[in-house]
Amino acid sequence: MKTALQRIYLALIAIFLYAPIGVLMVLSFNESKSRNHWAGFTTKWYVSLFENKQIMEALYTTLILAFVSAAIAMVLGTAAAIAMEAMGKKLRTYTMGVTNIPMLNADIVTGISMMLLFIALGMRLSFGSVLIAHITFNIPYVILSVLPRLRNLNPSVYEAARDLGASPLQAFGKVILPDLAPGILSGFLLAFTMSLDDFVITHFTKGPGLDTLSTKIYTEVKKGIKPEMYALSTIMFVSVFVLLMLFNGISSRKSAGRAAGKAARSKKADRSETDR
Amino acid sequence: MKNKKNIWLSGPYLVWSAAFVIIPLLLVVYYGLTAKDGGFSLEYITAVTQPENWKALWLSVLLSLVSTVICLILSYPLAMILVRSRLSSGSMIIFLFILPMWMNFLLRTIAWQNLLEKNGVINSVLSWLHLPAVNIINTPGAIVLGMVYNFLPFMILPIYNALSKIDENLFHAARDLGANSVQTFVKITLPLTVPGIVSGITMVFIPAMTTFVISDLLGGAKILLIGNVIEQEFKQASNWHAGSGLSLVLMVFIVINMIVTSIADKDGEGALL
């Protein structure tokens, strides 16, 4: 009885979170351009999407922006996280405080503050300004993904590598980096997604002539959204869903196999494995 | 790894933050505290007391408070169920945060128009069940719903993290010592999850209070929140001083939030994610 209630509750929340996504998917197959009535099933929007130059351009801008900003944030953020592990308590608290600013600050304030800076510097509001803004709000996500990994690192492994003759760089590349990789990767994924979904900060830091999917949709709201947008979103959502399912399936099978093997060998828990 | 030399690795990041986080905020302070002629002036700060601005601010605080409370009430039991189901937090993050975000945030919010409209999906289901229709589109109620929808994951995750850190033995000890399940919850579970609750509240309240998109899309562009007023000052009126002045008022709320967060996050662990 109790578990049945719990299941129902979980299902209701899942419906709440995914109902709008379902609506958009249905609309992408709607014959009519209107959002409000169903005129029959069609896949024509999935064809005309690829002929729509404006949407394709916005998609290209969005993906490049997300990739480049996440990649740069990944490098800066990982370096910062490693440095933070080495910091004393006080310096570390200050750095954490700075890291929290873009996360806790309102998007609208972040957006206008950067817009004011770019204009004060005489910079043209274009791809460059949006890229800087995205890197800025992406770095904290990388730092917060890498820090827990660093904390669970076994320091003796690095020292052992050094004892065995590895240079600091070799020891880092061959011992530390592989251990941090899952954290760095999930930081990158999170940053990429945040950049992709951002509207507010892009809205303030972009100039005329540059559009991401978000800003394009925003200008279309009043005129009516082109059904091609629903089709594009459905494609993106479904492909990421499939990718994540595959990725999750592989990694959970792997870790299940590893766990079984380990249990057979010894019952001692490995400190670095139990965390994730 | 705790090599002191590594501290220098934070150099590029700290320079970046100074240039693109700190200095921009100081510019907001500068514009907010000066008049158009460049002289010091408080007129754009006190502009918040003008009736229409004051109304927008008050409505923003009210709606975001309501949304935060609803998020908290929905999230706590959900987080408890999720912790007991032993779902790994990795797959939870994916389904709560990452996956929905690949469907654009604006489109997801617009989809709520379809769901909520007079002849929308929800009302069709309700009439099929012979239940009375709900007419909340273009009202503050729809804005609250949009806020809860968009920011619920930010409440669930920190509470989930706090709950999953609790040592199971504490529950056994409490039960052994004669506490019933209500007492165990009030005396053990709740106090230990306060940091998670606090960071959940800050992560929901500020974005909800400062949004202009949700009110734009679900409030029928008639209901102005403080975010809408600021956005219009910048994008339509091009009055940076007025927009910055109101942003400074918002920053008071944000700073209070940051202080609360840093108290809840004493060890500098970064309780946000």
Q: What is chain B written as a DSSP string?
A: ---GGGGGGGHHHHHHHIIIIIHHHHHHHHHHTB-TTSSB--HHHHGGGSHHHHHHHHHHHHHHHHHHHHHHHHHHHHHHHHHHTT--HHHHHIIIIIHHHTS-HHHHHHHHHHHHSTTSHHHHHHHHTT------TTSHHHHHHHHHHHHHHHHHHHHHHHHHHS-HHHHHHHHHTT--HHHHIIIIIHHHTHHHHHHHHHHHHHHHHH-SHHHHHHSTTTSPPHHHHHHHHHHTS--HHHHHHHHHHHHHHHHHHHHHHHHHTTT---TT-
- For A247, the 3-state DSSP assignment is helix
Q: Is A95 on the interface with B (CB under 8 A)?
A: yes
Q: Are B254 and A104 in contact (CB under 8 A)?
A: yes
Name the residue among A98, A143, A189 with its Cβ closest to that of B98. A189
Name the residue among A135, A193, A229 with its Cβ closest to that of B102. A193
Q: Is A101 on the interface with B (CB under 8 A)?
A: yes
Answer yes or no: is B8 within a domain. no
* In chain A, domain spans: 53-225
> Tens digit of pLDDT for each residue in B46-78?
777 888 889 899 999 999 999 999 999 999 999
d(CA B214, CA B234): 18
How many other C-beta atoms are found inside a 10 Å radius of the C-beta of residue A13?
Answer: 19
ipTM of the complex: 0.86
Name the residue among B31, B84, B212 with its Cβ closest to that of A108. B212
A269: pLDDT confidence band, cut at 50, 70 and 90? very low
Contact between chains at B254 and A135 (C-beta distance less than 8 A): no
Q: CA quadruple A225, A228, A234, A237: dihedral positive or negative?
A: negative
Number of helices and strands in chain A (H, E): 13, 0
Name the residue among A97, A204, A214 with its Cβ closest to that of B234. A204
Interface probe for B, chosen from A131, A175, A197 (most Cβ of B below 10 Å), is: A197
- For A64, the 3-state DSSP assignment is helix
* Number of folded domains that form chain B: 1
> Rounded to the nearest 5°, which phi and psi values hold at B36?
-65, -30
Is A53-225 a domain of CATH 3.40.50.10420? no
Provide the CATH number for the domain around residue B70.
1.10.3720.10
Contact between chains at A233 and B98 (C-beta distance less than 8 A): no
> Tens digit of pLDDT for each residue in A72-116?
999 999 999 888 888 878 888 888 888 888 888 889 999 999 999
Whether the per-residue pLDDT at B164 is higher than 90: the answer is no
Whether the per-residue pLDDT at A273 is higher than 70: the answer is no
Rg (CA), chain A: 23
Kindly list the residues from chain B whose CB atom is less than 8 angstroms away from the CB atom of residue A109. Answer: 25, 28, 210, 247, 250-251, 254
Nearest CA to B52 among B222, B218, B209? B222
Whether the per-residue pLDDT at B152 is higher than 50: the answer is yes
d(CA B22, CA B63): 30
Residues in contact with A160: Cβ distance below 8 Å, sequence separation at least 6, in sequence order: none
How many other C-beta atoms are found inside a 10 Å radius of the C-beta of residue B182?
Answer: 8
Q: Is B44 on the interface with A (CB under 8 A)?
A: no
Contact between chains at A108 and B231 (C-beta distance less than 8 A): yes
Residue of A nearest to B217 (CA): A221
d(CA A22, CA A54): 25
Whether the per-residue pLDDT at A275 is higher than 50: the answer is no
Answer yes or no: is B3 within a domain. no
Q: Is A152 on the interface with B (CB under 8 A)?
A: no
Answer yes or no: is B4 within a domain. no
d(CA B125, CA A120): 54
B265: pLDDT confidence band, cut at 50, 70 and 90? low
Q: Are B208 and B68 in contact (CB under 8 A)?
A: yes
Answer yes or no: is B2 within a domain. no
Answer yes or no: is B271 within a domain. no
DSSP string, A99-150: HHHHHHS-HHHHHHHHHHHHHHTT--SSHHHHHHHHHHHHHHHHHHHHHHHH
B2: pLDDT confidence band, cut at 50, 70 and 90? low
**What domain range is B178 assigned to?**
14-264
> Tens digit of pLDDT for each residue in B210-248?
999 999 888 877 888 888 889 888 888 888 888 899 999
> Percentage of chain B with pLDDT > 90?
20
Answer yes or no: is B272 within a domain. no
Kindly list the residues from chain B whose CB atom is less than 8 angstroms away from the CB atom of residue A141. Answer: 273
A154: pLDDT confidence band, cut at 50, 70 and 90? confident
> Tens digit of pLDDT for each residue in B176-197?
888 888 888 888 888 888 888 9
